[in-house]
Amino acid sequence: MSIAHKIGDIASGVYEQALMEEIRKADVPLHLGIITDGNRRYAREAGLTPNEGHVRGKDKLEEVLDWAMEVGIRIVTVYGFSSENFKRDPEEVNFLFDLINDSLRGLLKDDRIFKNQIRVRIIGDFKGLPEYLVNTIHDVEKITAGFKKFKFNIAIGYGGRQEIIDAVKNIAADVVSKKLKIEDINEKLFRNYLYDNTLTDPDLILRTSGEERISNFLLWQSAYSELYFSDVNWPDLKKLDFLRAIYSYQSRKRRYGK
């Protein structure tokens, strides 16, 4: 490593520590949503295969969860596999299913899950997922169901529009069967029909890779979420980038339309 790089690393570390001290002086987001974009772009720029990019992305997620707990965030929801991702090359889709499955199985062997009492939930439409992955999802959710200190949600086979449509269908069915009256329908009731009705709205949504859109992620829940877009690809995200997102959130005034 050159002297210039060493000096840069030292300066970055000092800035990182100073930013962390500032962050600890104010409220952090309770719930952070993350759109982990840029795995394939990272791989292309690094001369790797797309699948290798996804593996690097999985490794980065483990780092970011540690950072989130360090600053005091209590809930993280990650866009793991969207409903649109089913349209990708079947070989890549199958690789992603295997990677997600192995990652979830790995959580059950990770001491941090039990030490930090992390409850893991998966949100989405499971109909298009392979049976082995659905079984793994059920196992992980069952084993971590009693944990309360930190909530880690992964959106798999998820689409925000489809979640709303599914909720509308289920409400309509309950109206037809006379379990509900039309006048009973309001925002509070509607939330009960979402994939996870215990999920609080994200305070902040972070998206990487420079794209500035939410891509069908938590459409109902993100009505008043603050948005932060980072130019770096997901596997390249550094702790300093993450802290900048949190600091930016703290500098905003949330008015909720008032």
Instruction: Return the domain boundaries, the chain.
Output: 28-250
Give pLDDT, residue 103: 97
Catalytic residue list contains 135: no
Give pLDDT, residue 4: 47
- 164 touches 198 (CB < 8 A): no
- What gap in Å lies between CA 12 and CA 238, rounded to an integer? 10
Give CATH superfamily name and number for 28-250.
Decaprenyl diphosphate synthase-like (3.40.1180.10)
- 169 touches 190 (CB < 8 A): no
- The DSSP secondary-structure symbol of 83 reads G
Asked if residue 134 has pLDDT above 80, the reply is: yes
- Is 5 labelled a binding residue? no
Rounded to the nearest integer, the mean pLDDT of the chain is: 94
- Is 209 labelled a binding residue? no
- Is 214 labelled a binding residue? yes
**pLDDT, tens digit, for every residue of 116-127?**
999 999 999 999
Asked if residue 1 has pLDDT above 70, the reply is: no
- What gap in Å lies between CA 107 and CA 258, rounded to an integer? 42
Catalytic residue list contains 125: no
- What gap in Å lies between CA 244 and CA 237, rounded to an integer? 11
Of the residues 9, 27, 37, 98, only one is catalytic, namely 37
User: Band of the pLDDT at 7, cuts 50, 70, 90?
Assistant: low
Dihedral Cα 159, 160, 163, 168, nearest 10 deg: -140
Of the residues 9, 27, 51, 85, only one is catalytic, namely 85
- Is 82 labelled a binding residue? yes
- Is 83 labelled a binding residue? yes
Give pLDDT, residue 9: 59
pTM to 2 decimal places: 0.93
User: Band of the pLDDT at 3, cuts 50, 70, 90?
Assistant: low
- What gap in Å lies between CA 34 and CA 224, rounded to an integer? 15
- Residue partners of 203: CB distance under 8 A and separation at least 6: 29, 30, 31, 32, 225, 226, 249, 254
- 204 touches 245 (CB < 8 A): yes
- Is 41 labelled a binding residue? yes
**pLDDT, tens digit, for every residue of 203-254?**
999 999 999 999 999 999 999 999 999 999 999 999 999 999 999 999 998 7
Give pLDDT, residue 15: 86
**pLDDT, tens digit, for every residue of 169-210?**
999 999 999 999 999 999 999 999 999 999 999 999 999 999
